[in-house]
């Protein structure tokens, strides 16, 4: 396929690399020459320096004969206009765009062929908040992928501290089969391990596939099920707003925000949650807000280092599960699961 990608950032670069490796004809457009040169040295693609929303740039990129446009630039406006231009002028069949700003996303009729013709709309913030919500609603899970319009799930669970009531993997699978769930593989230190069906090997993560309606039932077979009730969120960003709106009616939610103005805004707009103005990486504040009683701690500030520090501290002080939002995915390789249970990356999810 002939694919045009607008935006050579982390997502655009990763997409370009993967799509070229799969044998696609990829053209990458960005206003940053240094990024284009960097990726051009690694993979075989056509790099164009310029604004991807300009008709002349799209024409140079071959939009007239392209199959797919993927707009993942740093600008929502460039992404939207490039989809409009590629449809109106070049009649490009499939247009995918990343949109971050909530103001655009709240209007359902904005993205249609009668308005802005985007076929697939991706919102990193909503993707992250949806993933975290699922992890909160299904205790025990550390990974979730959904297929077939959400009807089928691949679930990752950590090995529980409690010893399983099974003497072998085949015995565990027999029980899971009763709810139509199937073990895919076991992992140790991030690597898939080989094992004999007649044993329970030394593993730290198990992945299985099941019907989405059977997630909790499947987990309860593998380990003792524990309900999540108390949630603490660090950082008053857009992701926090999405997440809090979805879970505030079902859980006790507490937010810690270091900026006074943001904390006051959240307090006014969300009366159902407790808002604290303070540093989530401060041990005294975490103890004062009863971190040891929290079932899930989510570090969702814009600062990777702050998220990692507050997550490790929250885990050390007694939080049952900690989830840390990061932009630099290499950070996840530096820490063990016992320190941070789940790393979440908006760029990776996108």
Give the tens place of pLDDT for each residue, 17-50: 989 999 999 999 999 999 999 999 999 999 999 9
Mean pLDDT of 255-277: 93
Residue 32 lies in a domain: yes
**Residue 293 located in a structural domain:** yes
Question: Domain ends where: 176, 200, 222?
Answer: 222
Q: Which of 238, 225, 192 is nearest to 99 (CA)?
A: 238
**3-state DSSP call for residue 336?**
coil
| 170, 206: one domain | yes
**129 within domain boundaries:** no
> Are the CB atoms for 71 and 82 separated by under 8 Å?
yes
Last residue of a domain, one of 93, 122, 151: 122
In a domain, 54, yes or no: yes
Domain coverage including residue 180: 140-222
Listed residues 65, 96, 122: the one ending a domain: 122
Q: How do residues 268-283 score in pLDDT, each as one tens digit? A: 988 889 999 999 999 9
Tell whether 128 is covered by a domain: no
Residue-wise pLDDT for 141-167, tens only, equals 988 888 888 899 999 998 876 556 788
Same domain, residue pair 189 and 236 = no
**142 CA to centre of own chain:** 12
Residues 208 and 280 reside in one and the same domain: no
Task: List pLDDT tens digits, range 79-127.
Answer: 999 999 999 999 999 999 999 887 888 777 888 878 899 999 998 888 8
Q: b/e map of 20-31 (b: 16 or more CB within 10 Å)? A: beeeebbbbbbb
Distance CA 285, CA 342 (A): 23
Same structural domain, 88 and 154: no
Cα–Cα dist 278/33, whole Å = 41
> What is the number of domains present in the chain?
3
CATH number for 293: 3.40.50.720
For 195, list phi and psi in degrees, rounded to 5. -160, 165
Residue 244 lies in a domain: yes
Q: Say whether both 159 and 246 belong to one domain.
A: no
Using the predicted structure, report yes or no on whether residue 258 has a pLDDT greater than 60. yes
46 with 89, same domain?
yes
Residues 6 or more apart from 72 whose CB is under 8 A from it?
5, 6, 7, 9, 11, 12, 15, 79, 97, 98, 122, 350
What mean pLDDT do residues 51-68 have?
97
Task: Tell me the pLDDT of the chain averaged across its residues.
Answer: 91
- Domain-located, residue 340: yes
112 with 37, same domain: the answer is: yes
Q: Are residues 52 and 20 in the same domain?
A: yes
Per the domain annotation, does 133 fall within a domain?
no
Q: What are phi and psi of 283, to 5 degrees?
A: -60, -40
> 261 — phi, psi (to 5°)?
-65, -45
Both structure tokens of 81: 């206009």
Bridge partner residues of 234 (DSSP): 256, 299
SS3 181: coil
Do 266 and 238 reside in the same domain of the chain? Answer: yes
Question: What is the full DSSP assignment across 189-232?
Answer: TTEE----TTS--S-SEEEEEEEGGGHHHHHHHHS------EEE
More confident residue, 328 or 310: 310
Same domain, residue pair 149 and 217: yes
């Amino acid at each position: 396929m002939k694919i045009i990608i607008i935006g050579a950032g982390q997502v655009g670069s990763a997409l370009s690399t993967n799509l070229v490796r799969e044998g696609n004809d990829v053209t990458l457009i960005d206003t940053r020459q240094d990024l284009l040169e960097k990726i051009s040295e690694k993979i075989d693609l056509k790099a164009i320096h310029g604004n991807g929303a300009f008709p002349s740039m799209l024409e140079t990129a071959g939009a007239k004969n392209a199959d797919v446009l993927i707009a993942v630039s740093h600008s929502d406006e460039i992404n939207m206009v490039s989809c409009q231009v590629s449809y109106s002028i070049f009649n490009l069949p499939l247009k995918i765009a990343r949109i971050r700003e909530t103001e655009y996303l709240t209007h359902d009729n904005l993205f249609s062929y009668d308005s802005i013709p985007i076929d697939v709309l991706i919102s990193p913030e909503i993707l992250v908040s949806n993933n975290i919500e699922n992890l909160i609603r299904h205790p025990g899970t550390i990974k979730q992928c959904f297929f077939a319009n959400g009807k089928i799930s691949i679930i990752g669970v950590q090995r529980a501290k409690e010893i399983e009531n099974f003497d072998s993997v085949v015995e565990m699978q027999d029980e899971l089969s009763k709810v139509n769930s199937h073990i895919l593989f076991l992992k140790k230190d991030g690597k898939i391990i080989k094992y004999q069906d007649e044993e329970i090997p030394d593993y730290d993560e198990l992945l299985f596939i099941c019907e989405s309606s059977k997630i909790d039932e499947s987990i309860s077979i593998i380990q003792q099920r524990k309900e999540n009730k108390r949630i603490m969120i660090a950082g008053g960003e857009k992701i926090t707003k999405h997440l809090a709106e979805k879970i505030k009616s079902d859980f006790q939610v507490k937010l810690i925000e270091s900026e006074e103005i943001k904390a006051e805004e959240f307090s006014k707009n969300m009366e159902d949650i407790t808002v604290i103005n303070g540093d989530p990486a401060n041990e005294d504040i975490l103890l004062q807000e009863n971190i040891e009683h929290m079932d899930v701690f989510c570090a969702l500030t814009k600062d990777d280092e702050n998220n990692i520090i507050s997550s490790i501290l929250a885990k050390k002080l007694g939080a049952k599960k900690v989830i840390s939002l990061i932009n630099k995915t290499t950070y996840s390789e530096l820490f063990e699961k016992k320190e941070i249970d789940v790393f979440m990356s908006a760029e990776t999810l996108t």
